Amino acid sequence: MSRYTAPLREMRFVLFEVLQAESAFAELVGAENASRDLIDAVLEEGARFTEQVLAPLNQTGDAEGCRWEQGRVLSPKGFKEAYTQFVDGGWNGLTAAEKFGGQGLPEVVGAVVKEMIDSANLSWGTYPLLSHGATESLKNVGTPWQQEVFLKPIVEGRWTGTMCLTESHCGSDLGLLKTKAEPAGDDTYRITGSKIFITAGDHDMTENIIHLVLARLPDAPPGVRGISLFIVPKIKVNREGVMGAANALGCGSIEHKMGIKGSATCVMNFDGAEGYLIGAANKGLAAMFLMMNSARLAVGLQGLGLMERAWQNALAYARERLQGRSLTGPKRPDKAADPLIVHPDIRRMLFTQKALIEAGRALAYRAILLVDQAQHSRTPEAREQAEVLLGFLTPIVKAGLTEFANECCYHAQQIFGGHGYIREWGMEQLSRDARITTVYEGTTGIQALDLIGRKVLQLQGAGLKLFATEISAFCAQHAGESALVEFVTALARATQEWMDLTLAIGKAAEANPDAIGGAAHDYLFYSTYVAFAYYSLRLLVAAAGTDQDFQAAKLANTRFYFQRILPRATAHAAAIRSGSGNLMELADTAFV
């Protein structure tokens, strides 16, 4: 049985010491009352709920999975009761605006709680996750009556939300979607089509489910310019918020998946279902991306949550499991063998997990603090700058944390040895669950193309320049500190190479557009390693003044990252410089 304890000290350290959240909140409209005492109380209670209620359901939910019976989905035993406790505790509306019935706390506070949820029970966490995404679209493009009728019950937790994008013939290329929306003549529409891979598309936890569905109007232009977004409830709801008959939609089946088996991943069929247009006609993709961008950061947090749980259990096992003798002589002469943690290769895997988790947590929390700043900063200039930097960091957070989640879960399995392959220990579940995080809400390849193609080249490197300037200023500030010089020098050098690589890709793309796709994967990873290096060093700097053991751990962690993980970026730089010819020169018919 795998265990989970919320790492409250690390979470608070990042939030309050590294990111200086209290000072940041003071500069946000509506967040002035988010005191440390209040947030500490929220985190304490979040830890209790996730450790005691959600974590015990993680492996049982995986073993049982969701059941599809007579066109309806039943969640694993205990999931519905846990959701009721979640709603009763006010967690569902933690960060929603007070005018919609929420508590109005900053998004970054919700992110810390979400990390706990994802560590404790990733499958269960997908149900409120999709509601948060629906909330973002309704909040930003919904009309006042739609917010009153649909948004408030979602914030209350009485209803949940979904986003319905993917069809069997189109995933990332949404311009190919075929779902139709026919005007009914009474301000409603009839939605017809099938969507696949719909997380929480059907379940037994709430009285209604609000689907946000992409579809085409009869006169829509082709491609992505002709997509509209519609609110399609499972149970019909009129403009006064009164529920009526069942809508003409249903779950056709649930997917048989590798992991997250407690999460209902549904095929949803719409057969002339009643819906309402949300936002402007043919502008649905922009509205849906309000959900998508939020979801991408949320999936990054899923990766972080899995990394943390895998690390905790691998560390405990390495301390307890006796296996072999230390190469420098027995460390436990009173025992038949030494614990695994004395062996260098075990420490390599533990340090890799620890270094990636700690830097990744700081980066993820920073990105979500930018969400707060983009929405609530006091000046338009501050909001715009936060939005630009957030857009740049989002694909790095999503792809970096999910790819590293797979690496860290792999290391945990290796530390457990044969027991890591056995269900009872829980490591194989974490490894299976981690696989989907690199796929949904945009694969790693999609994130890579978004980063170099759109966020850097199309937007002329606006976010990259902001981030690189921030790193350079940090390096200049600490350049004279002898204890940091090796790290500052390496970070400054890597940042300059990052800029040089960016310019080289842009120049190569002028002659050959394939240069962008050919460099995208390696550019994403190079960017991720530099961003993690920056936050690893910021953690070390912020640890000054803490207790000696904490400082020593941060120093060892930073040294390991800079000496053993950051050098990986060199290989990615070499791959970028090799160009796209080695990818494209072989004819597709010659792949034999």
pLDDT digits (tens, 9 = 90+) for 189-224: 999 999 999 999 999 999 999 999 999 999 999 988
Is 238's pLDDT higher than 80?
Answer: yes
Is 289's pLDDT higher than 80?
Answer: no
Q: Answer yes or no: is 303 within a domain.
A: no
Q: Which domain holds residue 496?
A: 445-582
Please compute the mean of the pLDDT values over residues 542-557 and round it to a whole number: 96
379: left (phi over 0), alpha (psi -120 to 50) or beta: beta
Given pLDDT bands bounded at 50, 70 and 90, which one contains residue 336?
Answer: very high
Q: What is the pLDDT of residues 381-424, one digit of tens each?
A: 999 999 999 999 999 999 999 999 999 999 999 999 999 999 99
Q: What is the pLDDT of residues 443-452, one digit of tens each?
A: 999 999 999 9
Residues acting as catalytic residues: 441
Count of domains in the chain? Answer: 1
Residue 173 per-residue DSSP state: -
Q: Answer yes or no: is 450 within a domain.
A: yes
**Residue showing tokens 């259990």:** 313
For residue 136, the tally of other CB atoms under 10 A from its CB is 21
What does the pLDDT read at residue 288?
77
Given pLDDT bands bounded at 50, 70 and 90, which one contains residue 461?
Answer: very high
Is 133's pLDDT higher than 90?
Answer: no
What does the pLDDT read at residue 290?
75
Please compute the mean of the pLDDT values over residues 76-91 and round it to a whole number: 98
Q: Are strands 159-164 and 208-215 parallel, antiparallel or unpaired?
A: parallel
pTM of the predicted model, to two decimals?
Answer: 0.97
Q: Answer yes or no: is 383 within a domain.
A: no
Q: Answer yes or no: is 530 within a domain.
A: yes
What does the pLDDT read at residue 174?
74
Q: Answer yes or no: is 532 within a domain.
A: yes
**Residue showing tokens 């019950």:** 153
Residues 6+ apart with CB under 8 A from 166: 195, 196, 197, 198
What does the pLDDT read at residue 33?
84
pLDDT mean across residues, the chain = 96
Q: Answer yes or no: is 549 within a domain.
A: yes
Q: What is the pLDDT of residues 481-528, one digit of tens each?
A: 999 999 999 999 999 999 999 999 999 999 999 999 999 999 999 999
What does the pLDDT read at residue 380?
97
Is 173's pLDDT higher than 80?
Answer: no
Burial 391-415 (b: 16+ CB within 10 A, else e): bbbbbbbbbbbbbbbbbbbbbbbeb
Q: Are strands 67-69 and 72-74 parallel, antiparallel or unpaired?
A: antiparallel
Q: Answer yes or no: is 92 within a domain.
A: no
Total residues found in the chain within this entry: 592
CA angle 573, 576, 577 (to 5 degrees): 90
For residue 229, give the H/E element and its range: strand 228-233
What does the pLDDT read at residue 276?
97
Token pair, residue 192, equals 């017809």
For residue 426, the tally of other CB atoms under 10 A from its CB is 23
Residues 6+ apart with CB under 8 A from 302: 118, 122, 125, 402, 405, 437
What does the pLDDT read at residue 479?
95
Q: Poorest-confidence range of 129-133, 160-164, 264-268, 408-412?
A: 129-133
